[in-house]
Amino acid sequence: MSENPDSKPTPLHDVRVVEISDRIAGSYCGKLLVDAGAQVRKIELAQGDPIRWFTASRSPLPNGTDSPLFSYLNAGKRGVRLSGESRRLRAELAGADVVVLTASRSRANELGIDPQSLLAERPQAIVVTISDFGWSGPYAERAASEFTLQAWAGSTGFRGDPAGPPIAIGGDLGEYLGGVFAAFGALVVRRRVAHGGPGEHLDLSMLEAMTLMQSGEWLHSQLLRVPPVTRTVEVPSIEPAKDGYVGITMVTGQQWLDFAAMVDCPELTENPQLQFQIGRWQHRDFIRQRIGPWLAERSVEEIVELGQLFRLPI
């Protein structure tokens, strides 16, 4: 196929990225960069990327098959497997404009990767390191997980039944958030480099990125002079239907009014507090008594189809 003479090069078409990552945050950062046109080379060390074998059901994959998540995160990248030869690894890093590494400082030392040495050799390079707590501070080498990071960030303080155990957001949301912050930071420094400025080591703390996304709750509390939001469960949420369960999410007040029309229950519009999540939690028994019979008479497919017609997130 001949190249379209009117087509313009992508913003990062001449940017070479080397990604060394064994977690979603680094791989998603690389994905965002490759989607913007960068040339991303993913390096897997001897043990391989564990995401390659990940399945949500924990069922083993057929031999030679990559997981859907691995395929999604690494589409468009070039891959290479190294067996621990530091000389080959240094050679891969030497020509990179951007290096994305998910590792603590101690792990990077084990791999023989030193951001300052890379910057000394290539002053306009950008080295992005992603770790749970960053490379400095008393928690730098502390073990963590998606769940504990969400708890430290304050996320678990806003969700779940107050009488129950702490609950985290599913889907490794914090990992994707870290990947977004890492890619954004790399782009900011790349813009500076393009105008003749120096490169930089970007030390990304997953905890700091996740905590920043909680600032809206505290800002809301300060500006309106109301207590911080307490733990609640969305109402309605995952509700029983005739032949299974259906997930219902009402975000805006208008969506709530439209939902009331869909389930033919005008009583749900009489109390203005029900247009807000905290108000619905306080009146959860009333709401479920009203919508329960309607849901029980309809299949999941019927409810989802109606939700589409009303443009509701069901």
Q: Express each pLDDT in 266-281 by its tens digit.
A: 999 999 889 888 789 8
What domain range includes position 272? 238-309
Q: Is residue 84 part of a domain?
A: yes
Q: Which of 150, 177, 212 is the last residue of a domain?
A: 212
Q: Which residue is associated with the tokens 């603590």?
A: 104
Residue 202 shares a structural domain with residue 61: yes
Q: What is the mean pLDDT of residues 303-308?
A: 95
pLDDT one-digit tens code per residue, 21-60:
999 999 999 999 999 999 999 999 888 899 999 988 788 8
User: What pTM, to 2 d.p., does this model score?
Assistant: 0.81
The pLDDT, as a whole number, for residue 85 is: 62
pLDDT at res. 4: 55
Residues 176 and 122 in one domain: yes
Angstrom distance (rounded) from CA 48 to CA 31: 18
- Residue in the structure block whose two tokens are 């709750």: 217
- Please check whether residue 194 lies inside any domain of the structure: yes
The secondary element (H helix, E strand) that includes residue 80 is strand 78-81
Residue 160, classed as helix, strand or coil, is coil
Please check whether residue 67 lies inside any domain of the structure. Answer: yes
| Shared-domain flag, residues 156 and 280 | no
Averaged pLDDT, 74-96: 86
Do residues 261 and 130 both lie within one domain?
Answer: no
Task: Indicate whether 149 and 248 sit together in one domain.
Answer: no
In a domain, 157, yes or no: yes
Please report whether residue 207 resides in a domain: yes
204 pLDDT more than 60: yes
The sign of the torsion formed by the CA atoms of 105, 109, 112, 116 equals positive
- The CATH number linked to 98 is 3.40.50.10540
Q: Are residues 67 and 191 in the same domain?
A: yes
Q: How many domains does the chain have?
A: 2
Question: In this predicted structure, what is the pLDDT of residue 2?
Answer: 42
Angle, CA of 235, 236 and 240, to the nearest 5°: 135
The reply to whether 10 falls in a domain is no
Please tell me which residue, 182 or 58, carries the higher pLDDT value: 182
**CA–CA distance, 90 with 118 (Å, rounded to integer):** 9
pLDDT > 90 in the chain, percent: 67
